[in-house]
């Protein structure tokens, strides 16, 4: 779309021009611009800036804004230089607001907007079926060449895998791809070669292109790395290329470290080599649209392919979802995009509130400046300056402040980003968003510029209007006009009230999230976690036959039980938050439902204190060749066989397709527990026996210890290492740590919101202090008279404190009402805590009353020090 020259200039800009300038003038200018636009061969930015120049001129009353702007700017800079204290204060306030927003936006940018770092990224699209793979490898190979709307389509499967370089075992993310992958994306390796068409057959040599990151970490950027052999999933691969530094694959948020051809990938190669027409695995597709083709055209063409596939396999439920084509922007993993949306919205809203509070603060500051500069403004008015001109001057000053604030804010953004990043868990394979980084690209800059201008308008308009309302005569005489003072102080009062109300909303939201965290922490996961420790192991298929792996695990289990300080040990495929899914149905004919399962040792239920409510656990009599048995949880028993005894019932296991479905007899019912997260609803779940069903080689070896479970870490690791170099060792953790880790998101949200609300409170407190202090300064004379007439210092203190408290109280009431509405939106983050939970509401209100007392105390004390003689001398 963008690489082709479009003779028509941007429509919005042109329409804006016609609308605002209007008439014949607009006709002529639009004609001129169109002519010049096609002369210079495009340039949307240029066009927009030209239109902007016309609008600026048009907005100026004398149509002389552009030359005047320079004077305004010059004058603004001079004024700011003369009052650096006030300028710095305003800029710091703005920097806080803008910095927070820049960070949050750059994060949203990465999640939802950023394109792949490839040539012409707008033409790169992904194809999927509701987040799942759209077709099999075979189907891809069949239709790949026949589509005219694509200049190329590549297949890929993102994989979490491991890689050995010089006996160091790394867990990495890899993309298993078709050989045309780099060609379709338009990426040239910075070293070596991309894949060749000859890499696309099962008989080819195994080759790998690795990331710049691995190259520099493991090979110290040695060009000799090309041609070396490394092991991926226990097979030897020859390094043929190194990807460019900024390219991290097409599976964001995962950062990919290795690309390998699918045809020779160990999981698929045997099948593809044995049978040329084998379906192969399901693959994701990324394609590059052919020149002048649109997504709609590509979509229509794929619909035809889809219909053909459905004809070939009418029963396949996978095909019932339509293939969808979308342009790749942000995370390509749709689930991650959707899953993070609520958090993203929350953060954006909170950042917006902080910015609003910062703007109000600056407006307040400018208003007090306006009071000081009333005389200057009156003089300029008297000398014939137009009121519009003065307003423009004020806005220019605001813009200068905003630009300074934006500059500081971007710097600050880096820090905020580090901070937010540091609060994320360092290793959470499912989330993998620790790749978060602030990339100040054009979009982020544009966003920052836009909010800065918005801020400048927000905070400078009302003081600007105040300026020009000045009544000439009294102000020039050095008195303040009677109306102006009252109006100004009313306005400042409103500002303070708004600030208190807004920061109260943030405070209450933070409080609710902290409550939610407490609530979540006290949730019973339904299984024992104290003194339980596990290490996760994996026996890759290539190195271990199932019998060899079984006997290895049996030996490890036996030896673990005899470690000193160990009460018991067990094996479990799933650990909390990590499990596998399968399908099952009650009858063979029925279409299977999806549900999760665990593969366990027979003592598992006793080990984690999940009682069997009915029936028995697995026993050594349940052998691979004997009838299949399963244990179901309460929810499954209740939903699948309502009102019946589930023991002895049959469930058909397995999804359609890959493996034949097998009947299994229910032999026991286990109590429900939490499997994936603490806030999940009860869900059907079943268990199979690891001696009866070989799953895939993953097991957590779990220990129940007498003392501190962490003391067993070293002996357990030593034990696991006896499994030899081919036994993969993953994380070790106590079950308590694992459950705590699952709460990272709540903890992170609560932490962020607490930090933001703290920032908001600091800003609002400064605002309140300013207003009260200003009031004391204004009423010095009155206070002097009162004291001369016998008022005690406590009375004077109360005048001041009372003012602060009155404003705060109104702010609090308003804030409570706002919060009651706003916290409804938080419901999904709250782990069942009511959005109207009284504790945070009360605590936040009390906290604000305390803060307001503190903020007004200093000015109050100053008021009592007023010497009546000095105060009255001015009369």
35 forms part of the interface with another protein (CB under 8 A)? yes
Closer by beta carbon to another protein, 62 or else 315: 62
Per CB under 8 A, the list member of 2, 53, 718, 722 interacting with another protein is 53
Query: Least CB distance from residue 457 to another protein, whole Å?
Result: 20
Find out whether 120 and 186 touch, Cβ atoms under 8 Å: yes
* Residues between 599 and 618 with contacts to another protein, criterion CB under 8 A: none
Rounded Cα gap, residues 670 and 632, in angstroms: 6
Query: Least CB distance from residue 17 to another protein, whole Å?
Result: 9
* Residues between 395 and 434 with contacts to another protein, criterion CB under 8 A: none
Rounded Cα gap, residues 4 and 20, in angstroms: 30
Segment interacting with another protein (CB under 8 A) among 34-42, 141-149, 178-186, 837-845: 34-42
Find out whether 848 and 804 touch, Cβ atoms under 8 Å: no
Closer by beta carbon to another protein, 50 or else 332: 50
Closer by beta carbon to another protein, 29 or else 845: 29
Query: Least CB distance from residue 62 to another protein, whole Å?
Result: 9
Backbone angles phi, psi at 194, to 5 degrees: -80, -175
388 forms part of the interface with another protein (CB under 8 A)? no
How many other CB atoms sit within 10 Å of the CB of residue 760?
28
How many binding residues for another protein (CB under 8 A)?
Answer: 27
Query: Least CB distance from residue 396 to another protein, whole Å?
Result: 17
Per CB under 8 A, the list member of 2, 3, 15, 27 interacting with another protein is 27
- DSSP codes joined into one string, 663-711: EEEEEEEEPP--SS-TTPPP--EEEEETTTS--SSEEEEEEEESS-GGG
Closer by beta carbon to another protein, 38 or else 151: 38
Q: What's the token pair of residue 317?
A: 């439920």
50 forms part of the interface with another protein (CB under 8 A)? yes
33 forms part of the interface with another protein (CB under 8 A)? yes
12 forms part of the interface with another protein (CB under 8 A)? no
Closer by beta carbon to another protein, 52 or else 548: 52
Closer by beta carbon to another protein, 42 or else 715: 42
Per CB under 8 A, the list member of 12, 28, 548, 836 interacting with another protein is 28
* Residues between 855 and 874 with contacts to another protein, criterion CB under 8 A: none
In the chain, what's the furthest Cα-to-Cα distance?
A: 107
24 forms part of the interface with another protein (CB under 8 A)? yes
Rounded Cα gap, residues 173 and 163, in angstroms: 10
Backbone angles phi, psi at 661, to 5 degrees: -80, 145
Backbone angles phi, psi at 245, to 5 degrees: -60, -40
Q: What's the token pair of residue 740?
A: 């705590």
Query: Least CB distance from residue 55 to another protein, whole Å?
Result: 7
Closer by beta carbon to another protein, 54 or else 669: 54
Segment interacting with another protein (CB under 8 A) among 60-68, 119-127, 454-462, 552-560: 60-68
Query: Least CB distance from residue 14 to another protein, whole Å?
Result: 9
25 forms part of the interface with another protein (CB under 8 A)? yes
Segment interacting with another protein (CB under 8 A) among 36-44, 402-410, 477-485, 647-655: 36-44
55 forms part of the interface with another protein (CB under 8 A)? yes
Closer by beta carbon to another protein, 51 or else 800: 51
* Residues between 66 and 85 with contacts to another protein, criterion CB under 8 A: 66-67
Query: Least CB distance from residue 54 to another protein, whole Å?
Result: 4
Q: DSSP label at 132? A: B
Query: Least CB distance from residue 10 to another protein, whole Å?
Result: 13
38 forms part of the interface with another protein (CB under 8 A)? yes
Between strands 698-705 and 629-633, the pairing is unpaired
Closer by beta carbon to another protein, 50 or else 823: 50
336 forms part of the interface with another protein (CB under 8 A)? no
Q: What's the token pair of residue 201?
A: 């057959």
- Between CA 27 and CA 32, with CA 31 as vertex, the angle to 5 degrees is 120
Which x/- pattern over 359-378 shows residues binding another protein (rule: CB under 8 A)? Answer: --------------------
Segment interacting with another protein (CB under 8 A) among 25-33, 251-259, 483-491, 524-532: 25-33
How many other CB atoms sit within 10 Å of the CB of residue 339?
15
Query: What are the angstrom distances between the C-alpha of 169 and each of 468, 725, 728?
Result: 72, 9, 8
Per DSSP, the three-state class of 288 is strand
Per CB under 8 A, the list member of 1, 16, 36, 805 interacting with another protein is 36
How many other CB atoms sit within 10 Å of the CB of residue 439?
12
Backbone angles phi, psi at 452, to 5 degrees: -65, -45
Closer by beta carbon to another protein, 57 or else 729: 57
6 forms part of the interface with another protein (CB under 8 A)? no
Find out whether 698 and 704 touch, Cβ atoms under 8 Å: no
Cis upstream peptide for 568 (omega within 30°): no
Per CB under 8 A, the list member of 20, 56, 548, 846 interacting with another protein is 56
**Sign of the CA dihedral running 741, 746, 747, 748:** positive
Query: Least CB distance from residue 198 to another protein, whole Å?
Result: 52
Per CB under 8 A, the list member of 16, 57, 403, 754 interacting with another protein is 57
Query: Least CB distance from residue 387 to another protein, whole Å?
Result: 21
Tell me which H or E stretch contains 815.
Answer: helix 793-822
Residue that has been written with the tokens 């069942």 in this structure: 832
- DSSP codes joined into one string, 153-187: EEEEEEEEEEEEETTEEEEEEEEEE-TTHHHHHT-
179 forms part of the interface with another protein (CB under 8 A)? no
Q: DSSP label at 150? A: E
Query: Least CB distance from residue 35 to another protein, whole Å?
Result: 5
Per CB under 8 A, the list member of 54, 163, 408, 752 interacting with another protein is 54
Per DSSP, the three-state class of 789 is coil
Rounded Cα gap, residues 668 and 633, in angstroms: 8
Segment interacting with another protein (CB under 8 A) among 28-36, 91-99, 535-543, 572-580: 28-36
Residue 384, sorted as left (phi over 0), alpha (psi -120 to 50) or beta, turns out to be left
Closest CA to 401 of 362, 348, 343, 451: 362
Per CB under 8 A, the list member of 6, 32, 335, 530 interacting with another protein is 32
Per DSSP, the three-state class of 811 is helix
Closer by beta carbon to another protein, 56 or else 312: 56
Query: Least CB distance from residue 1 to another protein, whole Å?
Result: 21
Segment interacting with another protein (CB under 8 A) among 50-58, 163-171, 694-702, 817-825: 50-58
Per CB under 8 A, the list member of 12, 52, 454, 794 interacting with another protein is 52
817 forms part of the interface with another protein (CB under 8 A)? no
How many other CB atoms sit within 10 Å of the CB of residue 173?
20
Rounded Cα gap, residues 100 and 105, in angstroms: 9
Find out whether 408 and 91 touch, Cβ atoms under 8 Å: yes
Residue that has been written with the tokens 């004809």 in this structure: 311
Find out whether 508 and 502 touch, Cβ atoms under 8 Å: no
Between strands 629-633 and 662-670, the pairing is parallel
Which x/- pattern over 829-858 shows residues binding another protein (rule: CB under 8 A)? Answer: ------------------------------
Closer by beta carbon to another protein, 26 or else 319: 26
Q: DSSP label at 113? A: I
Rounded Cα gap, residues 266 and 202, in angstroms: 10
Segment interacting with another protein (CB under 8 A) among 52-60, 291-299, 304-312, 664-672: 52-60
Binding footprint of another protein on the chain (CB under 8 A): 24-25, 27-36, 38-39, 49-50, 52-58, 63-64, 66-67
């Amino acid at each position: 779309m963008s690489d082709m020259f479009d003779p028509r200039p941007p429509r919005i800009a042109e329409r804006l021009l016609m609308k605002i300038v209007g008439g014949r003038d607009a006709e002529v200018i639009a004609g001129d611009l169109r002519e010049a636009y096609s002369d210079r061969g495009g340039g949307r930015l240029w066009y927009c800036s030209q239109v902007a120049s016309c609008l600026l001129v048009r907005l100026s009353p004398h149509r002389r804004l552009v030359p005047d702007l320079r004077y305004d700017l010059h004058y603004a800079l001079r004024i700011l230089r003369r009052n650096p204290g006030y300028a710095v204060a305003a800029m710091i306030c703005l920097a806080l607001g803008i910095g927070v927003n820049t960070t949050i936006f750059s994060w949203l940018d990465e999640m939802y907007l950023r394109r792949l770092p490839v040539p012409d990224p707008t033409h790169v699209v992904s194809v999927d079926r509701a987040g799942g793979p759209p077709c099999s490898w075979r189907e891809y190979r069949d239709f790949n060449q026949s589509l005219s709307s694509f200049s190329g389509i590549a297949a890929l499967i993102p994989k979490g895998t491991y890689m050995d370089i010089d006996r160091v075992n790394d867990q990495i993310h890899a993309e298993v791809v078709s050989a045309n992958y780099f060609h379709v994306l338009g990426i040239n390796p910075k070293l070596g070669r991309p894949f060749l068409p000859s890499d696309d057959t099962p008989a080819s040599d195994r080759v790998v292109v690795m990331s710049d990151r691995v190259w520099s970490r493991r090979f110290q950027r040695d060009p000799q790395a090309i041609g070396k052999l490394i092991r991926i999933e226990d097979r030897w691969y020859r390094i043929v290329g190194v990807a460019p530094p900024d390219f991290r694959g097409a599976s964001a948020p995962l950062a990919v470290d290795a690309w390998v051809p699918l045809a020779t990938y160990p999981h698929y190669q045997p099948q593809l080599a044995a049978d040329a027409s084998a379906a192969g695995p399901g693959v994701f597709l990324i394609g590059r649209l052919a020149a002048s083709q649109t997504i709609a055209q590509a979509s229509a063409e794929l619909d035809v392919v889809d219909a053909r596939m459905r004809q070939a396999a009418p029963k396949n439920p996978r095909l019932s979802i339509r293939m969808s084509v979308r342009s790749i922007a942000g995370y390509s993993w749709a689930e991650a995009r959707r899953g993070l949306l609520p958090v993203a919205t929350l953060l954006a809203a909170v950042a917006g509130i902080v910015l609003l509070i910062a703007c109000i603060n600056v407006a307040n500051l400018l208003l007090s400046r306006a009071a000081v500069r009333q005389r200057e403004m009156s003089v300029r008015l008297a000398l014939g300056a137009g009121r519009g001109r003065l307003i423009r001057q004020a806005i220019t000053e605001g813009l200068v402040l905003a630009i300074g604030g934006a500059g500081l804010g971007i710097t600050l953004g880096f820090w905020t980003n580090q901070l937010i990043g540091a609060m994320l868990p360092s290793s959470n394979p499912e989330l993998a968003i620790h790749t978060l980084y602030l990339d100040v690209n054009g979009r982020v800059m544009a966003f920052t510029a836009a909010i800065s201008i918005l801020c400048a308008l927000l905070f400078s308009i009302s003081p600007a209007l105040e300026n020009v309302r000045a009544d000439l005569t009294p102000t020039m005489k050095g008195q303040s006009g009677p109306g102006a003072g009252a109006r100004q102080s009313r306005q400042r009062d409103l500002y303070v009230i708004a600030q208190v109300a807004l920061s109260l909303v943030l405070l209450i939201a933070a409080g609710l999230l902290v409550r939610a965290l407490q609530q979540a922490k006290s949730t019973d996961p339904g299984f024992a976690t104290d003194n339980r420790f596990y290490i996760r192991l994996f026996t890759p298929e290539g190195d271990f036959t199932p019998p060899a792996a079984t006997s290895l695990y049996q030996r490890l289990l036996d030896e673990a039980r005899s470690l000193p300080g160990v009460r018991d040990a067990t094996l479990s495929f799933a650990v909390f938050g990590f499990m596998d899914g399968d399908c099952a149905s009650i009858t063979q004919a029925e279409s299977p439902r999806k549900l999760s399962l665990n593969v366990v040792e027979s003592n598992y239920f006793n080990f984690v204190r999940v009682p069997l409510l009915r029936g028995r656990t697995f026993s050594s009599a349940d052998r691979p060749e004997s009838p299949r048995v399963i244990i179901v949880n309460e929810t499954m028993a209740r939903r699948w066989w309502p009102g019946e005894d589930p023991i002895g019932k049959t469930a058909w296991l397995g999804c359609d397709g890959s493996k034949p479905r097998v009947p299994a007899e229910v032999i026991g019912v286990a109590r429900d527990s939490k499997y994936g997260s603490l806030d999940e609803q009860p869900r059907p779940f079943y268990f199979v026996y690891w001696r009866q069903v070989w799953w895939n080689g993953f097991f957590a070896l779990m220990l129940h210890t007498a003392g501190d479970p962490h003391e067993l870490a070293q002996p357990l690791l030593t034990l696991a290492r006896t499994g030899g170099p081919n036994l993969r060792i993953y994380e070790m953790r106590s079950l308590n740590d694992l459950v705590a880790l699952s709460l990272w998101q709540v903890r992170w949200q609560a932490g962020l919101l607490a930090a933001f609300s703290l920032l908001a409170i600091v800003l609002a407190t400064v605002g309140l202090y300013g207003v009260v202090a200003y009031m004391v300064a204004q009423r010095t004379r009155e206070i002097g008279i009162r004291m001369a007439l016998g008022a005690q210092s406590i009375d004077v203190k109360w005048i001041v404190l009372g003012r602060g408290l009155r404003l705060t109280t109104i702010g609090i009431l308003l804030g409570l009402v706002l919060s009651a509405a706003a916290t409804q939106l938080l419901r999904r983050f709250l782990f069942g805590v009511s959005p109207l939970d009284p504790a945070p509401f009360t605590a936040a209100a009390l906290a604000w009353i305390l803060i307001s007392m503190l903020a007004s105390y200093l000015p109050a004390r100053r008021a009592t020090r007023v010497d009546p003689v000095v105060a009255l001398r001015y009369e």
